[in-house]
Amino acid sequence: MKVSEVIATARSCELSNLSTSSFTDSRIIQFINLGIIELSKRFVISTKAEKIKTSMYTSMYTLRSPDVIGILDIYDKTGRALVSQVLSDDENYDYKLINNTTFLYKHKIDYKATEEVNPITGIEVLQYTQEPDNELMVIYSAVADLVLNTTDDLTIPLVFMDPLVAYIGYKASHSITQPQSGGGENVASLTKFEASCRLLENSVYVGQTNLMSKSIQSKGFK
């Protein structure tokens, strides 16, 4: 769908009840982008990947991409999906999420140690081999593509049209609402936006919160 179509829909729906026609296309595009960001924070609309090279001397890593919403999965260079810590006292994990962009990677140590004799002291010592530098593939939820012009294509799925148009109405009415007016249109648009989001959460799309709090049961393992 073109941005121009979204603007036309917003003008004929949410914006038609406003007492002003001062909203230019460029102003509405700003509201569209704010809506895309808000929906991306609530739903996994776009996923991307970032490669991270690990070092045995570093345990904490942060994604560099500016559009990160949250880390979904991490794979090692063999393609194995790493195990995230589910419970705080669980030690059987490969990485632990610190926040939306940072994780703690637990390096592996080869416990098949070899015994070597120290040539100076003559004492046998165990040599442990730590895993070499690795390359991880981090899959993350990202902000969907923003738009600049009326001729741009909207990349978010069409099922998000209702909450997006409602959000445009919310931001537009909020920008002109006087404190003493009570903000009726503002509240109505926000209520419609929240209701549309709940409908999607209950039917089609999984929200960010559900994916961030992954558990063994939600992954389907027995």
Residue 46 has pLDDT above 50, yes or no: yes
Helix/strand/coil for 137: strand
How many H helices and E strands in the chain?
6, 8
Cβ–Cβ under 8 Å, residues 176 and 20: yes
Tokens encoding 152: 């741009």
Q: What is the pLDDT of residues 165-215, one digit of tens each?
A: 999 999 998 888 655 455 566 788 999 999 999 999 887 666 665 555 443
Sheet of 68-75: strands edge to edge? 46-53, 135-142, 68-75
Length of the chain, please?
A: 222
The domain spans of the chain are 3-44+145-177+185-205, 46-142
Q: Which residues, including other chains, have CB under 8 Å from residue 219's CB and lie 6 or more apart?
A: none
93: its two tokens: 């994990």
Residue-wise pLDDT tens digits, 60-103: 999 999 999 999 999 999 999 999 987 777 778 999 999 999 99
- Shortest CA distance to 39 belongs to which of 166, 169, 177, 172? 166
Asked if 206 contacts 44 with a C-beta cutoff of 8 angstroms, the reply is yes
Maximum CA extent, the chain? 91
Average pLDDT, the chain: 84
Cα–Cα distance measured from residue 125 to residue 219, given in angstroms and rounded to the nearest whole number: 43
Of 168, 171, 159, 170, residue with least CA distance to 197:
159
The token pair at 131 is 């895993």
> Is the pTM of the predicted complex or chain greater than 0.95?
no
121: Cα within 13 Å, side-chain hemisphere: 6
Q: Which sign, positive or negative, has the C-alpha torsion 25, 38, 159, 71?
A: positive
